[in-house]
Amino acid sequence: MCHWCQQHGDRDHRWYEKVENYMFTKIFPEETEQEKVKAQMKATFSETEWRYSDPEYIRNQQFLRDRASSGFGSQIITKKEMLKIVQLADEAVKREDSIMVVGHCPCRLVLEGVRDYVCIGFGMPVTMSMELGYGRLPNIGLTEYGGMEWKDLRRDLRKGVKVPLKLEEAEGLIDEWEKRGLWHIVMSRGRLPLIEAICNCERRYCTYWMNRFRSGVPEYVLKGHFVARLDPHTCVTCGDCWDRCQFGAIHYSATSDNVDIDATLCMGCGLCASACPNNAIEMVPREEIPIARDLW
Amino acid sequence: MLQTSKSEFVEVMIDDNVSRGIGHNGVEVVIDRKKCNYSMYDPSGCKKCLQICPVGVFCTRPIEKRDFSIPPKDRIDPTIWIILATWADWCNGCGACIRECPKGAISIQFGEKALVPER
């Protein structure tokens, strides 16, 4: 079990498999507390770009460690788990009378200068705090490249116009992102165990990846609950998995013409398994692989 | 106007003329703000340095913090964004940004070697 499962999960469910963890009103039942959290979100929201780009924040190890221990938690998940999460979120959102929305990735905005709609936020707090740009673009598509033609729409979104995302649409989008080769993260943004968003990213544009591997704060994003295992008899060494892996866990040996997957480096995103044309890669629960069991 | 921001790895200094990122390992990335025409919402503003850099040295952000307590008409224009070198110490000296920049706005002091745009 990972740290978050020990704290926020139970015997049969991982921390992101409990529907209560998606419900703002279950986690903050008192109204005064709810107001406090909302005010806190409003205050920090306007600083998102600064927090992701300013050395005082993003290059400050102590700051990142404090944040990680103050309720920021995220974990890499496979596509299958992600579909489960979207279903749970949809259920929670319906119970709470809130909505699910797709929004642009703030990391990509800061590091690439592009608004790429690859995050799904759900529940009341996210919907509230991500007022800028969050919302499905009606009849236009989901990716916006910051040109003048989007001006009116952006103005509307800034005013708070939001288009809820349906469950089927979310599932379609997840397929699309998987095909693009983006890994998936489930995250809580400062209010563990409240799960607020799922996010699809690449190593190059992911602030969370940077926090873990460049700034050395591993608790910021945990490895997934699965590890990739290769069946060398089925594998034809085509190299599709190798193209997808962004964590350097897959290696090719020219001498023996074999592919190895290093279980200690595998983050469990499952991109290699979905790319494999022969289904030679299987995602095995981390508990079953002794060498990787305690690596989070 | 001078903004400075510092951590143990990198220091960023931004004034009206240059946006400077100084790494702890002696790398200094300087972006000439007079030449660089980047702005988030401007279609003619390029972001080639953001996209070409293989290690992601550059970041972009609004020129000032947004403050919702100020009435909208007094706020600074939120469409003005700037480029800064937040990850300057990760620069590997390939010089791709310098070759890519159409305005020749970027120059790098890479240890003892100075990388400047060709005239």
Give A95-127 pLDDT, tens digit per residue: 887 778 777 788 888 898 877 778 888 876 665
Cβ burial of A240 (10 Å; 0-12, 13-18, 19+) is middle
The arithmetic mean of pLDDT across residues A61-80, rounded, is 90
Of A61, A111, A148, the CB nearest to B56: A111
* Higher pLDDT among residues A250 and A50, named by residue: A250
pLDDT greater than 60 at residue A160? no
The predicted structure's pLDDT at residue A182: 92
Predicted structure pTM score? 0.85
Exposure of A229 in the CB half-sphere (CA atoms within 13 A): 13
Tally the domains of chain B. Answer: 1
What's the gap in Å between the CA of A63 and the closest CA on chain B? 10
Give the best residue of B86, B90, B97 to mutate against chain A (max A CB count within 10 A).
B86
The predicted structure's pLDDT at residue B88: 93
Question: For B22-105, where are the alpha helices, taking DSSP H only?
Answer: 48-52, 96-100
The predicted structure's pLDDT at residue A141: 44
pLDDT greater than 70 at residue A76? yes
Instruction: Please state, rounded to an integer, the average pLDDT across all residues of chain A.
Output: 83
Q: What is the extent of the structural domain holding B100?
A: 2-115
Nearest CA in chain A to B79: A146
CB A45 within 8 A of CB B73: no
* Higher pLDDT among residues A148 and A296, named by residue: A296
pLDDT greater than 60 at residue A148? no
User: How large is the C-alpha radius of gyration of chain B?
Assistant: 15
* Higher pLDDT among residues B40 and B29, named by residue: B29
Q: What is the dihedral of CA B76, B78, B79, B80, to 10 degrees?
A: 50
d(CA A194, CA A73): 10
Nearest CA in chain A to B48: A112
pLDDT greater than 70 at residue A154? no
The predicted structure's pLDDT at residue A140: 44
CATH of the domain at B101: 3.30.70
Of A24, A23, A152, A181, nearest in space to A91 by CA: A23
In chain A, which residues have their Cβ closer than 8 Å to the Cβ of B41?
146-148, 151
Give A52-61 pLDDT, tens digit per residue: 889 999 999 9
B93: left (phi over 0), alpha (psi -120 to 50) or beta: left
Percent of chain A at pLDDT > 70 equals 85
User: Token pair of A19, please?
Assistant: 């529907």
List, in order, residues 6 or more apart from B50 with CB less than 8 Å away: A111, A112, A113, B58, B60, B83
Of A195, A192, A199, nearest in space to A22 by CA: A195
Query: How many contacts does A have with B, using Cβ atoms within 8 A?
Result: 76
Give the best residue of B7, B39, B51, B91 to mutate against chain A (max A CB count within 10 A).
B7
Give the best residue of B59, B68, B75, B97 to mutate against chain A (max A CB count within 10 A).
B59
Q: Which of A45-49, A144-148, B12-16 has the lowest mean pLDDT?
A: A144-148
Give A180-231 pLDDT, tens digit per residue: 899 999 988 888 888 888 989 898 899 999 999 999 999 889 999 999 999 9
Give B17-31 pLDDT, tens digit per residue: 999 999 999 899 999
The predicted structure's pLDDT at residue B21: 93
Q: Which of A8-22, A25-39, A135-149 has the lowest mean pLDDT?
A: A135-149
In chain A, which residues have their Cβ closer than 8 Å to the Cβ of B38?
113
Q: What is the dihedral of CA A227, A233, A238, A241, to 10 degrees?
A: 0
Chain B contacts to A (CB-CB under 8 A) = 5-12, 38, 40-41, 43, 47, 50-51, 56, 58-62, 65-68, 81, 84, 86-87, 90
Contact B47 A113 (CB under 8 A): yes
CB A146 within 8 A of CB A240: no
List, in order, residues 6 or more apart from A198 with CB less than 8 Å away: A77, A82, A85, A86, A119, A120, A184, A185, A186, A187
Nearest CA in chain A to B44: A147
In chain A, which residues have their Cβ closer than 8 Å to the Cβ of B51?
112-113
In chain A, which residues have their Cβ closer than 8 Å to the Cβ of B43?
147-148
Q: Can you name the CATH fold of A226-292? A: Alpha-Beta Plaits (3.30.70)
Residue B15 pairs in a beta bridge with: B2
- Which ipTM score applies to this complex? 0.88
d(CA B78, CA A46): 11
d(CA A239, CA A217): 31
Of B43, B61, B87, the CB nearest to A148: B43
The predicted structure's pLDDT at residue A37: 83
The predicted structure's pLDDT at residue A132: 41
Nearest CA in chain A to B78: A46
In chain A, CATH 3.30.70.20 covers: 226-292
CB A182 within 8 A of CB A63: no
The predicted structure's pLDDT at residue A158: 56
Percent of chain B at pLDDT > 70 equals 95
The predicted structure's pLDDT at residue A245: 93
Contact A49 B62 (CB under 8 A): yes
